[in-house]
Amino acid sequence: MAIIVNLDAVLHDRRMTLTDLADRIGIALANLSILKTGKAKAVRFSTLDAICAALECQPGDILAFDPNLAAADDGEEA
């Protein structure tokens, strides 16, 4: 997948743990962990909105696109 999740770096910059974030936004720690590790296949806008509000950041601070990874994905079967 060409989408990179930088949630860990933003949390570190804010000196906040994933558990703190989960408590603040009311989302299960397991679900945030799946997102943080890049294993999520989708993210709801309401979840992204809550994360950005709690971390005082923009969606682009959390998510990035790497075209080099997109080229690597082209050879994979779905």
Name the H helices within 1-78: 7-13, 18-25, 29-36, 45-55, 59-62, 67-73
Domain span including residue 32: 3-70
Do the domain assignments include residue 58? Answer: yes
Instruction: Give the pLDDT confidence score for residue 78 in this predicted structure.
Output: 44
Task: Name residue 39's beta-bridge partners.
Answer: none
Q: Which one, of 47, 38, 36, 41, lies nearest residue 9 by Cα?
A: 36
Quick one: tokens of 61? Answer: 């601070």
pLDDT at 1: 80
This prediction has a pTM of 0.84
Structural domain contains residue 75: no
**What is the domain count for the chain?**
1
Q: With respect to residue 23, please indicate whether it lies within any of the assigned structural domains.
A: yes
Q: Can you give the pLDDT of all 78 residues of the chain as single tens digits?
A: 889 999 999 999 999 999 999 999 999 999 999 999 999 999 999 999 999 999 999 999 999 999 888 766 666 544
Q: What is the DSSP letter of 41?
A: S
Q: Provide the CATH number for the domain around residue 46.
A: 1.10.260.40
What local confidence, expressed as pLDDT, does residue 3 receive?
93
User: What pLDDT shows up at residue 74?
Assistant: 62
| Distance from C-alpha of 74 to C-alpha of 50, rounded to nearest angstrom | 32
